[in-house]
Each structure stands twice: as structure tokens, then as C-alpha cells.
Amino acid sequence: MATLLRLPEVATGATEAVINDWLVAERGTVAAGEPLVVIETEKASVELAAEFAAQVLRLLAAPGATVAVGAPIAVLAEPGEHVTDVDALLHSLGVAAPESAGEAAEASSEASAAGSSGSTAPGAAEGNGGPTGRVFASPLARRLLLAAGLGLSDADGTGPNGRITRRDVERAVAARSAGQLVAPPPVPPPPVPSQPALSRPALSEAASEVVEPPVSAPTRVPGAAEPAVTRIPHSTVRRAIARRLTESKRTVPHFYLKASCEVDALLALRRELNAASTERISVNDLLVKAVGRAHSLVPEMNVAWSDEALLSFGQVDVGVAVAGARGLVTPVVRAVDTRSVGAVSAEVRELSARADDGRLRQSDLEGGSITLTNLGMYGVEEFAAIINPPQAAILAVGAGRPVPAVTGGELGVRTELTAVLSVDHRCVDGALAARWMQAFHDCLAQPLALLL
């Protein structure tokens, strides 16, 4: 029996979401539990799995479309069920069935993207799409093509039904860089007519000052190329980042603590762990564990602000900033205080991989009282980060570097990194944050405590 698939409330309080990509084509089938569509919320892309085995009769929302929660996005039928008139079926289900509803919307979306990037119409017969000849591309691929100055016809789609994916765009960009795709030369602008020369006025008998000619605006050199400007549409994730961090900086009273932490013992412990394990432990994994240990030693920091009450957590969950291909996200590692370094490392790797692939769930991004953001791998020595509300703090860590130090009256060299703690003053005071910072500092200086 045919049924409507409606957009669920994939994020708490969400009223709408974006259809990122369909993973099953029209008239295709899907098994129970298999992913059917990727839905993009403000925080992440979420795969929606089929609740039962079904065939897709028609897609009612095109990739890139913003859909209200509860609105129909597809009509499904049982596998093997024969439906000849889908429009009549939609009418019986109370859904308006315009001419080729899903296809018309998708073709319109793709035509708009193609027009903005200078490509040919997606309905061209030589396209790499399905039987209709349309070119299919994910919204991310379209944005990347537009940013690279390429059109849909410049990339060969390898996804389902010939859909152009991010990897296809990367291959097309690499091919152009190698000289296989040559961008058309810029058209020189028309020359600007030269201004007539202005003569210098003579001195007047009654005046002792010389009247200078007016200063004209600078003129462009004839034949010079216009500076290139590319408009890259904001993604849903980028808009969410901008809104949330602007709100945080405007409404959360930040204060900052900085500490220089010795990490020679931490680096030595990492070398020993990697020598004894098949799984590589990174410095960032140990820093995540140190944040969890410091929260265990100073549990008053394991809080979050709400307008009604201060929320105190019994489990230490730590957010980890990940700069993936789809933007900045902060998935949360659970129970850092009670798990081994190896278990924390494995979960960080898993969350980072899912962030790159757009497979993070909404639950992966919720909770926690503190986030760790590390730019040390880029050579950044020191920076301050913006708190991710409603968390109480964020720790920004820079690169380790050798510095001179006096130990026991002897001058030597040790490795230090700078950590800057941004704190919400509404729920944490300076003395409490200082105690936490001291606990974190001690965890790095004496890292064997991280293995307890």
C-alpha cells in the first residue's frame, strides 16, 4: 500500500531542513534500515533510514530544497507493487501533484545552478544523468563547481545515476590544474578615454595663493583585467556557525585564562603508547583525556548555563572541534573521564570521519560542558576561541615549541604549549577557572594520571 514519507523533526525544535541528497532514485527500492535521504540541519547532515522495505514512486522534494517539518518529501509503495498513475495516487493521498513534481523542482534547481556557473542547461542530451539526460549533482558539488569556475558539464559523475559528487569535482579541478581543462582567457575591458590636461592657473595680482586643480578619482589602466570576484552561496552549516557564534560573542560574558604547559613527559608517554599499540594515539587524543581528567578533579567546572538553572553534569562529555569538508562542527566524546586513552582516540577518529562524510547524527553534537579546539598542527602558537553555547568553556591549544628553562639551577630546554581557556562568567568565576587550569596543567606535566 502506498504511503507518504514526511520530513521528520531531525533536530529538537527544528521547523525546517534542507534535502541534501537522495540516495535512492525514483522507481528504485530500499530495504528496511537502509539510508534513503540525507537531510541537512543547522548542525550536520543526517541520513534518514527507511523504516520498512519500499520502492520510491516519486520524489516530492529536490536536492537543495528547504522543506518544512511534516511536509511530504516522497511517496513510497511496497516492493513489487504496481502503480500506473502516480498523480492520481498523490491526489487520493491529499497531495497536489503538479506536472512531474519532484523532477520539475530538481530540474529548476539544477538549471539555476548551471546558469550561475556558466554551464549548459542540465537537460542537454549529452549530460551524465539518467534516461532524461539531466545532470544530477549534490548541492555541495554544485557549490564547489561554482567556486572553481566550472560547470556541470566539466565533471563526470560517478555517484548513483551519474550524480556528480564532491570527489568528482575535486578530480575535475585537478584535471584543469594539470592543463586538461583550460579556462577561457578574461576579456579585457574597454579602454577608458583619457582626460584632457588641466593647465596650472596663473597667480592673481590680488592673491598670493595658487589655486590647484581638483583631484580626480584614480582611473583604471586601459587593458587591465577586472579583479575576479566569485559569489559562494552560504551553506546551512555556515549560516548556523555565523548565527550561533555571533550570538555567543554578543550575549555570553567571556573571560580568558592563559597557561604555558610543559609537555615533554606527555610526548614521551605518547611515544611509549604508540610503540605498544597498533592504533596511533595523537597528542590531541591525550589533550582530550586531560580535559576530562581536569573536569573530574574540578567537577564544579562540569556545568552549563540555562536561563532557569545551572546545569551540573555527572558525566564528563567533551566536544572536539573538527574542521571537516562541510564546515566546522563540534561532535561530543562521551564519558571521557571513565574511558581509556585508546577508547577516546578511537571515538575521536570515528567522529572526525563521520564529520567529513556528513554522517554525524544530531545526538553526536549535543551535550557537554567544554570543547577542545587545537590548531597546533598548523603551527599556531596561541589563540582564543569563542564559547559554543550552552557550554561553559572552550580550551584553545597551540603548537608545542622548545623554550629555555631553568631547572635545579641549570639552564636547559623544554617543550611548552600555550593553552587559552575561554570561560562563561555567568556560571564560572575566575578562581574556579584558575583551579581547573592548574589541574589541566598538572595533567600534562604528569601524564601517567591519564591512564588511571
Rounded to whole angstroms, the Cα distance separating 328 from 170 reads 20
Q: Can 425 be counted among the known catalytic residues?
A: yes
pLDDT at 240: 79
Are 2 and 81 a contacting pair, CB within 8 Å? Answer: yes
Class of domain 104-177: few secondary structures
| DSSP string over 194-229 | PPPPPPPPPPPTT--S--PPPPPPPPPPTTPPPPP-
Compute the distance between CA of residue 452 and CA of residue 229 in angstroms, rounded to an integer: 55
390 upstream amide cis, omega within 30 of 0: yes
In DSSP terms, 434 is beta-bridged to: none
Cell digits for 283? 597528542
Please tell me the CATH superfamily of domain 241-451, with its number: Chloramphenicol acetyltransferase-like domain (3.30.559.10)
Domain boundaries, the chain: 3-97, 104-177, 241-451
Residues counted in the chain: 452
Could you write out the DSSP letters of every residue in 334-400?
A: --TTTS-HHHHHHHHHHHHHHHHHT---GGGGS--SEEEEE-GGGT---------TTBSEEEEE---
Please choose, from the candidates 21, 47, 45, the residue with its C-alpha nearest in 3D space to the C-alpha of residue 35: 47
Supply the pLDDT for residue 99: 41
Name the fold adopted by 3-97: OB fold (Dihydrolipoamide Acetyltransferase, E2P) (2.40.50)
Confirm whether pTM is higher than 0.85: no
Catalytic residue, candidates 82, 91, 295, 425: 425
41-to-11, 68, 225, 240 alpha-carbon distances in Å: 7, 12, 40, 9
Is the Cβ–Cβ distance between 100 and 62 less than 8 Å? no
Amino acid at 385: A
The ranges of the chain with pLDDT < 70 are 11-13, 42-44, 96-135, 139, 160-161, 179-226, 325-326
Take residue 24 and report the three cell numbers written for it: 535512492
DSSP state of 63: T
